[in-house]
Amino acid sequence: MPHITCVILAAGKGTRMKSDLPKVMHHLAGQPLIDHVLAKTQMLGIEDVITIVGHGRDMVIEHIADRSDIVVQEEQLGTGHALKQAVPKLKDNSCVLVLSGDQPLLSLNTLTSLLKQHQSSGAAATVLTAVMEDPYGYGRIIKKDGVFQGIVEEKDASPEQKEIKEINTGTYCFQGRELKMALQLIKPQNAQGEYYLTDVFDVLLNSGQKIEIVCTKDKTEALGINNRCQLAEAEEIIYDQIRKYWMMEGVTIINPSSVIIDARVKIGKDVIIHPFTIIKGTTTIAEHSIIGPGTFLENCTCLQGCHIEYSVAKEAIIGEDCLIGPYAYLRPGTVLAKGVKVGDFVEIKNSRIGEGSKIPHLSYIGDSELGKKVNIGAGTITCNYDGKQKHRTVIGDNAFVGSNTNFVAPVEIGKNSVIGAGSTITKDVPDNSLAVERSPQKIINNWLKAKDN
Ligand code: UD1
Ligand code: CA
C-alpha cells in the first residue's frame, strides 16, 4: 500500500445549522462531529491527517491539534478551495483520502473497501457514492451508459438530473499528483460562485484519466449533517448502532429505544439497563450492574454489581455492590467504597464514603470523609459552607449519627461515636463517645386546662 494522507474538510461555516458554534463542534452521541471522523482515521491506522479549518477555527484547533495537522482556509470559497489549501503538504506518489467533517457515520468497512478498490483499480480518483430515496441537497452522480461523467450539485442540476438517486457522499480517494494538477484548474463557475471540489472530476476526465465509483451498501452511512434535523437523524442512527453493539456484547437493554448510550461509554457483560436511562461521556459500568430505570450517568465509574435506580450521577466513582437511589444525586468528586447505600433524596458532593456505610434518606453530604460502616440518620446535613469557604467534615468508622443532625464544618467525629438525633455539632467528638446538643425536653402537664385558666 502506498502512503496515505487523509484530508478532512472542516472549514465551512455550517450556515444551515444556524449556530454560533462551528458545525464540526456540534455534538453527536456525546462527542463533536469532528471526533467521529478523526476516530475513523485512527482506526484505519492513518498517521498523516490534515484538517482544513476556517470558520470558528480557534475552537476547532484547540480541540483537535493533538490529533491532526492543521491547515487554515482563510476564506471559505468552497470545498475545492478548501482542499487546495493542503496541496503544499500532499506528496505526488501518495494516496489522498478526502473526508468531510460533517459526515460522521461512514463505517470502517466502507472506507476500507474504498481504499482497496482505489488501489487495485489504479484509477486517478475513486468516488464513494450512495443511493438515496430522497437525494435532495446532495451532488448527483451523472453517468452515461453506466460510465461516470461527473457530479452536479443540487443548485446546478436540471430537473432530470434532480431525479437521479445516486449521490456523492463527499468522500474520495485520489492519486496525489493527479489531484494537485486538477485542483489548479477548477474555477468558481456555478450557481454558488464557489470552487467545487467535484469539478476536479471534469478536469481529470478531460485529461483522459480513469475515475472509479464505489457505492455504499448502507445509505445511512452517507448522511451529511447540514442542519439540526440531519443531526438528530444521525444521532438516532448512531445510538441505535451503539445499543445493538452492547447487546451483542452481553448487555441487556430493556426497551432499547428509551435508552441513550454515548459513543465512548464502556459496559461489562451481564449489565442490565432499564428504560429511560441516559449514559454519557466516558462512563464505564462493570459487569453485573443494574442501571435504571430513569437514571442519568455522566463520566462516572461504576464498579461491579452496583445497582442504581432513578438517580443522577456526574463524575462519581461508585464502588462494588453499591445501592443507589431512588432519587439520589451524586455530584463530582463523590467516591463510594464497596457496598455503600445511598438512598432517596440524598445529595453527595466531593466526599469519600467508606465501605459498607449507609446514607439512606434525605441528607446532604459535602466535602466529607466517612469511614467504614458509618450510619447516617435521615435528614443529616453537613454545613460545609460558611458563606466564604468550604470546610470538611470527617466521621470515623462505625459512627452512628442520629436523624436530623447538622455537622458545622470543620468538624471531626471519632470512631464508634454516637450523635444524638437533632444535634447541631460544632465541636469535635472523641472516639467511643456520645454527643448530644439539644435543649432538655419540657413537659407541661394538663396544658389545655392550664391555658383556659
Ligand atoms: C458536498 C458536495 C456534494 C456532496 C455532499 C455530501 C461539493 C461541491 N459538494 O456538498 O456533492 O453530495 O458534500 O455531503 O463538494 N468546507 C470547507 N471549506 C469551504 C466549504 C466547505 O472546509 O469553503 C467543508 C465543510 O466544513 C464540510 C465539507 O467541506 O465539512 C462539505 O461542505 P458542505 O458545504 O457541507 O458541502 P455540501 O453542500 O454538503
Ligand atoms: Ca455537507
Q: For residues 198 and 158, give the distance between their C-alpha atoms in angstroms, rounded to a whole number.
A: 17
Which is the closest atom of ligand 1 to the Cα of 138?
Answer: 12
How many Cα atoms occupy the beta-carbon half-sphere of 97 within 13 Å? 27
Q: Please give the pLDDT value at position 280.
A: 98
Q: Which domains does the chain have, with CATH numbers?
A: 4-222 (3.90.550.10), 228-435 (2.160.10.10)
How remote is the CA of residue 109 from the centroid of ligand 1, in Å? 23
Q: Which residues line ligand 1 (CB under 6 A)?
A: 9-12, 52, 54, 73, 76-79, 81-82, 100-103, 138-139, 151, 153, 167-170, 196-198, 224, 226
pLDDT in tens, the chain (453 residues): 789 999 999 999 899 999 999 999 999 999 999 999 999 999 999 999 999 999 999 999 999 999 999 999 999 999 999 999 999 999 999 999 999 999 999 999 999 999 999 999 999 999 999 999 999 999 999 999 989 999 999 999 999 999 999 999 999 999 999 999 999 999 998 888 999 999 999 999 999 999 999 999 898 999 999 999 999 999 999 999 999 999 999 999 999 999 999 999 999 999 999 999 999 999 999 999 999 999 999 999 999 999 999 999 999 999 999 999 999 999 999 999 999 999 999 999 999 999 999 999 999 999 999 999 999 999 999 999 999 999 999 999 999 999 999 999 999 999 999 999 999 999 999 999 999 999 999 999 998 876 666
Considering the candidates 3, 27, 288, 361, report the single residue annotated as catalytic: 361
Surface-to-core class of residue 281, CB atoms within 10 Å of its CB (0-12 exposed, 13-18 middle, 19+ buried) = middle
Model pTM?
Answer: 0.90
Q: How far is CA 85 from CA 61, 195, 368, in A?
A: 16, 12, 55
Q: Is there a catalytic annotation at residue 361?
A: yes
Q: Please give the pLDDT value at position 451.
A: 67
Q: For residues 28 and 272, give the distance between their C-alpha atoms in angstroms, rounded to a whole number.
A: 24
DSSP code at position 279 = E
Nine-digit cell string for 413: 467525629
